[in-house]
């Protein structure tokens, strides 16, 4: 954010506002961590603020302080709708265009509120009065910390906020190892620990709450993995039938896609997950090195994301989707084996 933006934010927050805070659909650790941290900060400044999530999210994120105040648009519809419709100021966090909020998109589109976007995805849409967009950032959580710093308030970061921000940085950086993790990320994380982030407990909450059925589903996914050495690619399919057989719960497939990248010589990993209810195959793409999965997802699977982590969807059967995917690879061979 430049000085002009910082001044504009200070002015907006110098008077009482009705604030709505919105993460993307299927919110992850960064989306929930960043919205909750900002919510605590704004409440502590005396502002009225409400988080509206477009839909539900995994149980392993629900321990975060303030979680019980998040309104799920699907289950608390009228309250959520009022919070958005009455808002004078709306923060949108961890996404780059309204389309990423699913059913909330037309409601946000129609709102007369002022918008502040805080996000690290490529190609931010131009709807906000203040756009704090930085694709080099590890996470939106790191940006929320910066946002508070721009306002001169890091001394007001509480242990609740520190726990939320730490969580999002940890989940979006693959526990501090992805490319976008900088020395500055670590400085911020160090400060968060000083301010009360409980690092061991956070790791346990996120990574050590497996159910036996999730581990069995992982076994099924790994068995289904197809390795295409000539394209340095590995992909996994999970059908609705398989998900049902292992009592799939939201969040159970989180992280499965990364296993492909742990194979020596593999730089492109994909998982296709059938969702019969929505009539789609949800796809996650991951890469190591220069191959941009953001471009790949945008060009062929109606999606997007970051250079090394993106998502998309397909509306044809699993078999056709996988076949189509494999047929695309020959056009990318040079980039994949570079
Ligand atoms: P994941 O594979 O974990 O769902 O998502 C990886 C990254 O891609 C995240 O940054 C997420 O925001 C983005 N992403 C996931 N699905 C979609 C999608 O359908 N469209 C777009 N534009 N981005 C997506
Ligand atoms: Mn993020």
What's the token pair of residue 232? 């340095």
Q: What are the φ and ψ backbone dihedral angles of 160, each rounded to 5 degrees?
A: -60, -50
Asked if 286 contacts 270 with a C-beta cutoff of 8 angstroms, the reply is yes
Locate CATH 3.90.1640.10 in the chain. 3-207
Ion ligand 2 neighbours (CB, 5 A) are 30, 94, 140, 172
Locate CATH 3.10.310.30 in the chain. 212-336
Task: Give me the residue label for tokens 């796809």.
Answer: 283
Which atom of ligand 1 is closest in space to residue 284's alpha carbon?
A: 2
The C-alpha angle with vertex 101 and arms to 309 and 83, in degrees rounded to 5, equals: 140
Best CA proximity match to 151, nearest among 41, 36, 21 = 41
Ligand 1 mutation pick, 273, 282, 310, 315, max ligand atoms within 8 A of CB = 310
The radius of gyration computed from the CA coordinates of the chain, to the nearest angstrom, equals: 20
Regions of the chain with pLDDT less than 50:
none
Which atom of ligand 1 is closest in space to residue 28's alpha carbon?
A: 3
> Beta strand pairing status for 89-93 and 114-119?
parallel
pLDDT for position 257: 98
Q: Which ligand is nearest to the CA of 167?
A: 2
> Three-state DSSP class for 51?
strand
Cα-to-centroid distance, 30 and ligand 2 (Å): 5
Cα-to-centroid distance, 153 and ligand 1 (Å): 31
What's the token pair of residue 39? 């919510």
277-334 residue pLDDT tens: 999 999 999 999 999 999 999 999 999 999 999 999 999 999 999 999 999 999 999 9
pLDDT for position 338: 81
Cα-to-centroid distance, 25 and ligand 1 (Å): 10
pLDDT for position 82: 98
26 DSSP 8-state letter = S
- Looking at 3.40.50.10420, 3.40.30.10, 3.10.310.30, 1.10.1240.10, the CATH number of the domain 212-336 comes to 3.10.310.30
Q: Which CATH architecture has domain 3-207?
A: Alpha-Beta Complex (3.90)
Residues 39-68, buried b or exposed e (16+ Cβ, 10 A)?
A: bbbbbeeebebbbbbbbbbbebbeebbbee
Asked if 129 contacts 92 with a C-beta cutoff of 8 angstroms, the reply is no
């Amino acid at each position: 954010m430049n000085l002009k933006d910082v001044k504009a934010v200070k002015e907006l927050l110098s008077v009482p506002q009705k604030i709505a805070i919105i993460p993307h659909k299927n919110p992850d650790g960064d989306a929930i961590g960043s919205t909750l941290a900002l919510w605590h900060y704004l409440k502590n400044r005396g502002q009225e603020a409400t988080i509206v999530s477009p839909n539900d999210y995994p149980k392993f994120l629900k321990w975060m302080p303030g979680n019980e105040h998040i309104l799920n648009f699907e289950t608390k519809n009228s309250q959520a709708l009022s919070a958005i419709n009455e808002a004078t100021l709306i923060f949108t966090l961890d996404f780059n265009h309204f389309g990423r909020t699913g059913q909330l998109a037309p409601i946000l589109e129609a709102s007369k509120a002022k918008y502040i976007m805080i996000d690290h995805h490529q190609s931010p849409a131009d709807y906000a009065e203040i756009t704090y967009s930085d694709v080099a950032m590890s996470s939106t959580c790191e940006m929320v910390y910066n946002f508070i710093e721009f306002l001169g308030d890091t001394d007001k970061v509480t242990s609740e906020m520190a726990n939320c921000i730490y969580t999002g940085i940890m989940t979006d950086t693959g526990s501090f190892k992805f490319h976008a993790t900088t020395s500055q990320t670590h400085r911020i994380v160090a400060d968060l620990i000083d301010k009360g982030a409980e690092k061991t407990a956070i790791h346990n909450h996120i990574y050590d709450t497996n159910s036996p059925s999730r581990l069995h589903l992982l076994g099924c996914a790994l068995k289904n993995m197809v390795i295409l050495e000539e394209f340095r690619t590995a992909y996994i399919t999970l059908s609705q039938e398989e998900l049902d057989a292992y009592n799939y719960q939201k969040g159970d497939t989180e992280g499965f896609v990364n296993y492909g990248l742990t194979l020596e010589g593999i730089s492109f990993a994909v998982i296709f997950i059938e969702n019969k209810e929505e009539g789609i195959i949800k796809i996650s793409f991951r890469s190591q090195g220069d191959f941009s999965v953001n471009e790949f997802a945008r060009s062929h699977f109606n999606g997007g994301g970051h250079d090394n982590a993106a998502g998309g969807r397909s509306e044809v059967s699993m078999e056709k989707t996988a076949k189509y995917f494999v047929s695309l690879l020959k056009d990318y061979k040079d980039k994949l084996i570079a």
